[in-house]
């Protein structure tokens, strides 16, 4: 009897750690902007220790390297905020569509009934939400790889080009989105 409990213990104990790891990744993605901004301000102000702590850098990391990584963290943080905004809008306009839009539903996707419009918006919001959550998870992983040299680890060569391309892509998205509002 005890042998069967021990055989299943690792599988059941690994489930909470995966969930906790996922939550930690989401938390890291959502705090990239304030952490990077804090580290940048502290480094610019000569406060190296708090700046290094904000980026989880080693004690011997120089101020210039911390400032560069803090600036890149701010850029990734802005991208994470954009993705978080898309996630919030996708949730509000999908899952809670019937509460957010009071109608009439004649010209809505899935209209002319409230139920049809709600179902259509919900169906569209599912992939938007999934992609947004995946992007936030990926941004946290990208940031961890980007700041690897601050912890004495090796950074893969593809990381910095991906960070820069992601920031350029986010800028283009914001410009395109703002043009549609006019």
3-class DSSP string for the chain:
CHHHHHHHHHHHHHHHHHHHHHHHHHHHHHCHHHHHHHHHHHHHCCCHHHHHHHHCCCCCCCHHHHHHHHHHHHHHHHHHHHHHHHHHHHHHHHCCHHHHCCCCCCCCCCCCCHHHHHHHHHHHHHHHHHHHHHHHHHHHHHHHHHCHHHHCCCCCCCHHHHHHHHHHHHHHHHHHHHHHCC
Which residue has tokens 């920031």? 167
Least reliable range by pLDDT among 30-44, 106-120, 139-153: 106-120
C-beta separation of 55 from 150 below 8 A:
yes
pTM of the model: 0.77
Token pair listed for 70: 């803090």
Q: What is the mean pLDDT of the chain?
A: 83
Q: What residue segments make up the domains of the chain, in order of their start?
A: 25-180
The per-residue pLDDT for range 89-141, each reduced to its tens digit, is 888 888 888 788 777 777 777 778 777 888 888 888 899 999 999 999 999 99
pLDDT reported for residue 18: 55
């Amino acid at each position: 009897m005890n042998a069967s409990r021990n055989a299943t213990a690792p599988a059941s104990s690994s489930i909470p750690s995966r969930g906790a790891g996922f939550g930690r990744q989401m938390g890291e993605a959502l705090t990239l902007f304030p952490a990077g901004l804090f580290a940048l301000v502290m480094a610019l102000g000569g406060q190296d220790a708090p700046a290094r702590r904000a980026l989880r850098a080693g004690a011997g990391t120089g101020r210039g390297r911390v400032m560069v990584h803090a600036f890149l963290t701010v850029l990734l943080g802005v991208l994470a905020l954009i993705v978080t905004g898309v996630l919030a809008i996708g949730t509000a306009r999908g899952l809670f569509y019937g509460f957010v839009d009071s109608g009439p539903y004649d010209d809505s996707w899935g209209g002319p009934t409230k139920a049809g419009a709600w179902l259509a918006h919900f169906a569209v919001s599912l992939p938007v939400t999934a992609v947004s959550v995946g992007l936030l998870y990926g941004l946290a992983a990208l940031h961890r790889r980007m700041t690897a040299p601050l912890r004495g680890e090796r950074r893969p060569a593809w990381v910095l080009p991906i960070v820069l391309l992601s920031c350029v892509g986010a800028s283009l998205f914001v410009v395109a989105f703002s043009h549609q509002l006019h």
